[in-house]
Amino acid sequence: MDITEVARRSGVPASTLRFYEEKGLLVSVGRRGLRRLFGADVLDRLALIALGRSAGFSLDEIGHMFAPDGNPRIDRQLLTSKADELERTIRKLSAMRDGLRHAAACSAPSHMECPTFRRLLGIAASGAIGGQGRKTSPAKRLTKKTAIGAADGANKAGAGKRSSAAS
């Protein structure tokens, strides 16, 4: 099946198919003119790649899920770890959803006066939700912010000197 047919049948753009081939996720079996040809199993392989991506696996992790002969070789421990990670994400998102629903319906005169909303703010400030994997403590984040602020101040001062020198 040529690349155009694979793209049409799978819904995956030809550019992505070429990228997957570069990454070693797909292997073309030949060419017809300038078009790549793929074996009949390419649609199943693309479905496995899509499933892996939907579950949050990186392309490198997905690549390791295929044996050298192209057959799936899925590490069950890796699947269990990913399932545990997804469970933690679901709990965090559920807490966020519940907090937002409460904030929307809360009768407190101000959200800042609502204990539930204040608790949600505290959780967000700690990096426990929405932190994209932040693992640093609040003290370390403060230290980083202070260092960044000092660097920014030094950069601004240096820029001011350059501006004055240029005048």
| pLDDT of 157 higher than 80 | no
* Banded pLDDT at 145 (limits 50, 70, 90): very low
| pLDDT of 152 higher than 70 | no
- Whether the CB-CB separation of 72 and 82 falls below 8 Å is answered with no
Q: DSSP labels for 50-106?
A: HHHHHTT--HHHHHTTB-TTSSB---HHHHHHHHHHHHHHHHHHHHHHHHHHHHHH-
- Whether the CB-CB separation of 74 and 65 falls below 8 Å is answered with yes
Q: What is the mean pLDDT of residues 6-25?
A: 95
**Per mean pLDDT, which range of 3-17, 41-55, 94-108, 151-165 is the poorest?**
151-165
Q: What is the mean pLDDT of residues 118-136?
A: 68
| pLDDT of 139 higher than 50 | no
Q: What is the mean pLDDT of residues 113-118?
A: 85
